[in-house]
Amino acid sequence: MADNITLFQEAHPSLDSYWRSVILFGRNVASYKFALAKSLLEIAPTGKTVITLEELADPFSRHLCEHIAHSPRQVTSPGSGFLDACRSYNDGTSTHEALLSATVKNGFNNVIDAFHIVNNAALPVQFYTKDYSARSRKIILTDEIFKLQDTAFYADFAKETESRWRLVETAWEQNISAGLLDIQYSELGDLLYIDTKRFRRKAVTSARAEYMINQHMHAFLRYNHIYCHRRFEKYVI
């Protein structure tokens, strides 16, 4: 009986576990997956299924601009023309229309295809599909992103995504591997923070949000080794 239960759990991870696997274990070479995740969570409650890149550009660029304002480094590569457009908008030297145009042109080049890739393999669950066949490129939201709203933790997903984003960008800001980031806890405000000569006790993220996503995914990984292929005994960023 126990073996059958474990086999069922390995073969059928929950929908929220698939979502969290993207946030936790999707590739971290740029913060675009976090901006896309927050955009999808923002759009899904509207019930709209067909989203053009022009429509997606507004929330996507907004989330990135908000993060660039406090954490300029949002990619591991030396530079990005798209992120430069976000910075120009933030400092007032570019218009919102120019930002949206740059986002449609360059912001989605890799993230649309890479979002569902975890441990170099595509998830069997897709929260959207891509349709670039017509002149207006778009994504089609699937039933899974709408079903995600019915899960017990849907209200926490945006906070968890923000928490993970804050941790990853903080590691990049210090030019270290995310797994080596020295995070400490403060009861004052229930925050995780770093304390270095360069960043004097800089608040990073909500301790509760990071604890929640970590605990949920440890439960997932305890039974599911489909994408990770090894047991994660300790928390890694």
Query: How many other CB atoms sit within 10 Å of the CB of residue 109?
Result: 11
Q: The whole model's pTM is what?
A: 0.74
Amino acid at 172: W
Instruction: Classify residue 20 by its DSSP letter.
Output: H
Return the ∠ at Cα 187 (arms to 184 and 193), rounded to 5°: 30
Question: 50-64, 99-113, 173-187, 209-223: which range is least confident on average?
Answer: 209-223
Q: Which pLDDT does position 57 carry in this prediction?
A: 98
Distant-in-sequence, close-in-space partners of 50: CB < 8 Å, separation ≥ 6: 138, 140, 141
Tokens of 213: 């996503």
Q: Which pLDDT does position 29 carry in this prediction?
A: 79
Which residues, listed in sequence order, are joined to residue 75 by a DSSP beta bridge?
A: 30
Rounded Cα–Cα distance for residues 193 and 2 (Å): 41
Q: Which pLDDT does position 162 carry in this prediction?
A: 93
Distant-in-sequence, close-in-space partners of 122: CB < 8 Å, separation ≥ 6: 116
Task: Specify whether the CB–CB gap between 127 and 19 falls below 8 A.
Answer: yes
